[in-house]
Amino acid sequence: MSTKEILKDTESHMKSTIQATLHESQKIRTGRANAAILDGIDVECYGARSPIAHVANISIPESRQILIQPYDRSLLKVIDTAIQKSDLGLTPNNDGQVIRLNLPSLTEERRRDLVKVVRKIGEEGKIALRNLRHKGIDRLKKGEKDGVIPEDESKRCQDEIQKLTDRYTAEIDKILKDKEDEILHF
């Protein structure tokens, strides 16, 4: 495998890590309505498990309310139950047509707890980046040992991988800072 392929593969995996970290952080409830908080909830319908977004229209009519309108009204009870069983801590209001989720204001203590969760997500992302850096450098060293990659080329690519790691770590830090600000100041 060439150094270009190793760099490209490592960067591709790092970008995926950034996207996963961003997606996980978006699931955290901030007091502002966001349809992404429903992403992890599946409902049993038509003999299969499906995400709520696949069986209902989700909208945000107000800053603290999520409106769920199933395509088939017979799914209202199933969606209602799935939300109640989830770890969202929200009580759905089912009026027979739609389900409304009203997001309460966050207490200061809950905000601090959510910031800790966000930091944990960020640390997991950074660990994943470091593991990818380690894996990429190991591949370069193996190529160097096998005589496929010249030593100077290997060192240059190791430096490139370190620069990628630094850049994407800074990106995770920015995602975390933005999310913390959103949690603490909304």
Count other Cβ atoms within 10 Å, centred on residue 108.
8
14 CB-side CA count, 13 A: 27
pTM: 0.71
**Amino acid at the residue 152:** D
Q: Which pair of structure tokens corresponds to residue 142?
A: 């193996």
Whole-angstrom distance, CA of residue 71 vs CA of residue 47: 16
SS3 98: coil
Instruction: Order the strands of the 65-70 sheet from edge to edge.
Output: 56-62, 65-70, 99-102, 92-94
Whole-angstrom distance, CA of residue 54 vs CA of residue 167: 35
Q: Write down how long the chain is.
A: 186
Low-confidence ranges of the chain (pLDDT < 70): 29, 31, 186
Question: Cα dihedral sign for 85, 89, 90, 91?
Answer: positive
Domains and CATH numbers, the chain: 3-27+107-185 (1.10.132.20), 35-102 (3.30.1360.40)
Helix axes 151-185, 108-145, angle to 10 degrees: 170
Give the per-residue pLDDT at 186. Answer: 66
Give the per-residue pLDDT at 40. Answer: 80
Give the per-residue pLDDT at 168. Answer: 96
Count other Cβ atoms within 10 Å, centred on residue 105.
9
SS3 156: helix
